Structure 1
Amino acid sequence: MQGKGVTLNCTLPVPSVQELVRQQRPDALPPRYLRDDTVVADHHHESLQDLPRIDLGKLMDLASRSTELRNLDSACREWGLFLLVNHGVSDEGMRMTKENVRGFFELPHHEKQKSAQRPGSLEGYGQAFVTFHDQKLDWNDMIFLKCHPPHARNLDLWPRNPPEFRMALEKYGEDMRKLAEAVAKYIGMALGIHEEELDLLAKSFGEGSCQVRMTYYPACPEPERAVGMTPHADATGITLLTECGNVAGLQVLRKDNCWVTVPPVPGSIVVNLGQIVEVYSNGTYRAPDHRVVVNKEKERVSIATFCNPSPSLPVGPSPQLLAATGLPPIFQTLSNSEEFMQRFYSRKLLDAVPFIDSLKL
């Protein structure tokens, strides 16, 4: 298994799954996509109809805020994942972004290849975290781009086709950055954070980084033996997920170790807490394990925005929370989110200790 010592900050080139399906129309999975090591056969048995829904408008309204903060606190403790409704992002902006992302994946392969990942980088069109040559592969193609701050953008990788792709993504990234700032503020309030520390938390997400992963999951000949995305928890602050259609695929691991499907809800955004928030909450809130399953008949397209705080915020348990609870910190404190992410990317794919556990005292 060549290359297993390679860290996660680069990825090997792999064939396009979309092209494999288009050209070969296989009735069975190629060997590298067979994932019998991961049980997915029962993924249709339960759908999470009662996933918490949090109304951003109610959080903004003083009359309804306290009740909705209690709902938010419960969602973050029990699930670490919730549907955000009444979020204020314009329907037109969402529609335009979804159309352009779908349009990109509908382009000829040679056109998409203009945005292909460069050696030693995760950015661009390809697949993430492929670190050795006989590694089992996920059933997806993706394009991963840095959106914020603007100076971090590698515009050589930003598609010029469809013609409105760049404009749509720039506006969408800004909308997600503002939304992450608001969500971080109310998560802090739900934890009991206030005054200067709360202001610093919200401001740091407003000034932090946003990266967008747009993923295409083709129809799959043997969906019970493939994985659209390998189970993982996000090593981020907050992830905001938009579905580009009504095909389910996202699953979250419940506390009883049962995988349940998150059904698409038109107009909503799925908020998924990352491990930076789990550390900040001293383990009170969860960064849930989640995965993606695939469909035999239908393709699926999604847009995930990974939002991290700025270097102004140390990544460690909240000082106010520790003082209020009297509990000892269970995680170490790192200087900022950049150090946190460097720790994550310096790991190896097959490290035995989960990343979150490597941060424990």
Structure 2
Amino acid sequence: MPSTLSCVPSDINHFAVVEGHGVKGLSDLGLESLPEQYIQPPEERITTSAIIADDSIPVIDLSDWDRVDDKICEAAEKWGFFQIVNHGVPLEVLEEVKAATYRFFRQPAAEKNKHSKENSPSHNVRYGTSFTPQAEKALEWKDYLSLFYVSDEEAAALWPSACRDEALTFMRNCDAVIRRLLQSLMKGLNVTEIDGTKESLLMGSKRINMNYYPKCPSPELTVGVGRHSDVSTLTILLQDQIGGLYVRKLDSDTWVHVPPINGAIVINIGDALQIMSNGRYKSIEHRVIANGSNNRISVPIFVNPRPNDIIGPLSEVLESGEKAVYKNVLYSDYVKHFFRKAHDGKATVDFAKMTN
């Protein structure tokens, strides 16, 4: 192995961000120490003293849908996260999309970089590293491919061939469970029917990400993903068996690991549904730690309103006289606010809060 000093690029940002090598490229160099650009301030690192080892998020068996509505709603209120098993998505579909994620990221940097912000022919297809490098004081140890779904035709033309078919298959196979989860959650809000308008608001658009967290030198000094909540309605997350996802326990400064369960899918409430439920359902802070021994991947599907939808507390939630906690906001404005800054916990949802 070459010495650390001889193999470190003279300009880390240019190598990782501009040339498209990402943190995978840095990890492949066999670095013995973490580049200073990735060293997080102490308050952003997760410490063992903040981790609860004897608590876990709910695991819900969907083999009998008629018996799980209350469990789903309770998990959405008390945790904002839960795992589902016996969900109907074939195991081979899950394994194939994980394999496709590795296949995409194992390509040469020049091939992946064809889909970067500067080079991609569409803003709906984006390869990158960290979260918002230009706004971050310290970079995150993650590369990603983000694919906004418009149509099968656009996906066929623009999504990378290394993972396109598997990503589409995973999305299609999750549609039924997404609809059923939303039906359960809407029942808890006194919404008796998801009509066309509600369906558009709840799941009018989808984005699938493929995340790659390579083995990291000095993982205790950085993060894979910093503290944040998602801007989605729901997030459907497939994680591998390595582990590393942590959820902040509600009204606490402690964190709970989301243990990998073979064949399970992780579900979490996003900001959009917290706003629509007027705060009854909780979008919870979560983060990903870096790993010093193994590469890790995850594949989230973000189920969102359409960009031009107005989100605010649903009328059914307020009809009993409950006071609105959130104002109506244009969803695209909310999303832009999220992406123009570094990860900062739950601060984004304040953008939609009512002012006195």
Distance 1:305 1:134 in 2: 24
The answer to whether the 8 Å contact 2:308/2:332 transfers is: no
TM-score by length of 1: 0.83
The answer to whether the 8 Å contact 1:181/1:202 transfers is: no
The answer to whether the 8 Å contact 1:250/1:293 transfers is: yes
Distance 2:140 2:179 in 1: 31
**Deviation sequence 1:281-339 (CA, Å, 0-9, x none):** 10011000111001111111100111113479641112112123x211111123xxxx2
| Unpaired segments ≥5 residues, structure 1 | 1-11
**Which residue of the partner structure matches residue 293 of structure 1?**
289
**Which residue of the partner structure matches residue 349 of structure 1?**
341
**Which residue of the partner structure matches residue 125 of structure 1?**
127
Aligned AA for 1:360?
Answer: K
SS in 1 for 2:104: helix
Aligned AA for 1:359?
Answer: A
**Which residue of the partner structure matches residue 20 of structure 1?**
26
Correspondence 1:331 to 2:333: no
Q: How many residues are paired up? A: 331
Aligned AA for 1:31?
Answer: E
Check 1:54–1:309 CA distance in 2 against 1; reply closer, same or farther (3 A cut): farther
Aligned AA for 2:181?
Answer: V
Check 1:360–1:151 CA distance in 2 against 1; reply closer, same or farther (3 A cut): farther
How much has 1:92 moved relative to structure 2? 2.1
**Which residue of the partner structure matches residue 246 of structure 1?**
241
Distance 1:113 1:193 in 2: 45
Aligned AA for 1:22?
Answer: D
Matches within 5 A, 1:35-184: 35-37=40-42, 38-42=44-48, 45-47=51-53, 50-59=56-65, 61=66, 64=67, 68-118=68-118, 121=123, 123-127=125-129, 129-132=131-134, 135-150=137-152, 153=155, 155-156=157-158, 158-161=159-162, 165-184=163-182
Check 1:192–1:43 CA distance in 2 against 1; reply closer, same or farther (3 A cut): farther
Distance 1:313 1:341 in 2: 8
**Deviation sequence 1:103-126 (CA, Å, 0-9, x none):** 212223333233333369583221
Query: Which of 34, 37, 41 is 1:32 aligned to?
Result: 37
Distance 1:44 1:136 in 2: 21
Identity %: 27
TM-score by length of 2: 0.84
| Unpaired segments ≥5 residues, structure 2 | 1-16
**Deviation sequence 1:128-159 (CA, Å, 0-9, x none):** 54252773110011111112444664843x22
SS in 2 for 1:284: coil
How much has 1:263 moved relative to structure 2? 0.6
How much has 1:180 moved relative to structure 2? 2.1
